[in-house]
Structure 1
Amino acid sequence: MTEPENNFYNKNLKPLARNLRNDSTKAEIRLWCELLSGKRMLGYGFRRQRSVGKYIADFLCKELMLIVEVDGYSHNFKTEEDAKRDEELQALGFTTLRFPDREVMQDIENVRRTLEAWIFEWQENLSQ
């Protein structure tokens, strides 16, 4: 399967993305299986571990220009890095939503509600 040409895909990161897909965390697997695979999130398709600029997004929906990140414990010490990353992704036109591992594992319904609310707001803005 080839990735369509776009202004944010970085083919040089493809091997790393493949490795990350094969080495997903429990929270990433849960989010994928329960909410994001097979267009389960209100009919929108997400991809796992996709390159965006110089980064790899945990989950990416091109149609929504939305990136969903699952942050493990190490992100507690990377707030400045994450903010810079989110800023650079925003410059490419993406919105990043971040969820802690713990929330995905312990309150997946809140993650669902948050994603659905964001999508509903995006749809409303699109129709205006």
Structure 2
Amino acid sequence: MPHQPVAPAKRNFARSMRREPTEAEGRLWQELRSRRLDNIRFRRQLPVGKFIADFVCAEAGLIVEIDGSQHADSHRDQERDAELKARGFRVLRFWNDDVLKDLGAVCDTIIAYVRDDNLQPWR
């Protein structure tokens, strides 16, 4: 993935999102940070094109998004996923409730997707 310059406004917005994560993003980040999850490197709130991805594993070409109910059947999310896919990423989405109620299953799923690039997201 070639490095592309990021507009200062987008970089600042990503920083503010890192400072104020949702509860679900904060809990998942505690599992992902510092290679805690199966020695996999993730970055959070990372600008990718015109979007800011919640969590990115560049090695696996995987973006993990944590969604609230406002994302249900979101046309914007479909467009976003299509653009990220065109950039070579798979986008794995979980609901906030998934993370808050069964963090272990979420982490197991992420490991499976990182380790097997043939797996494709279900939503």
Please tell me the TM-score bracket, short chain as reference.
0.7 to 0.9
CA distance in 2, matches of 1:98, 1:38: 21
Q: What count of residue pairs does the alignment treat as equivalent?
A: 116
1:25–1:10 distance in 2 versus 1, CA, 3 Å: farther
Aligned pair partner of 1:46 in 19, 26, 42: 42
Q: Give, in whole Å, the separation in 2 of the partners of 1:29 and 1:107.
A: 14
Q: Which runs of 5+ in 1 are unaligned?
A: 124-128
Q: Distance in 2 between matches of 1:54 and 1:81?
A: 13
- Displacement of 1:99 after TM fit? 0.4
Contact 1:10 1:53 in 2 (8 A): no
Query: Which structure 1 residue ranges, 4+ long, deviate > 3 Å from structure 2?
Result: none
Q: What runs of 5+ residues in structure 2 fail to find an aligned partner?
A: 119-123
Query: How far does residue 10 in structure 1 lie from its aligned partner after superposition?
Result: 4.7
Q: TM-score under structure 2 normalisation?
A: 0.86
Root mean square deviation of aligned Cα: 1.7
Indicate the percent of aligned positions where both proteins have the same amino acid: 41
Give, in whole Å, the separation in 2 of the partners of 1:119 and 1:51: 20
Higher relative helix content: 1
Task: Give yes or no for contact 1:49–1:58 (8 Å, CA) kept in 2.
Answer: yes
- What CA distance in whole angstroms lies between the structure 2 residues aligned with 1:32 and 1:63? 18
Rounded Cα–Cα distance in structure 2 between residues aligned with 1:91 and 1:69:
17
2:67 matched to which residue of 1? 71
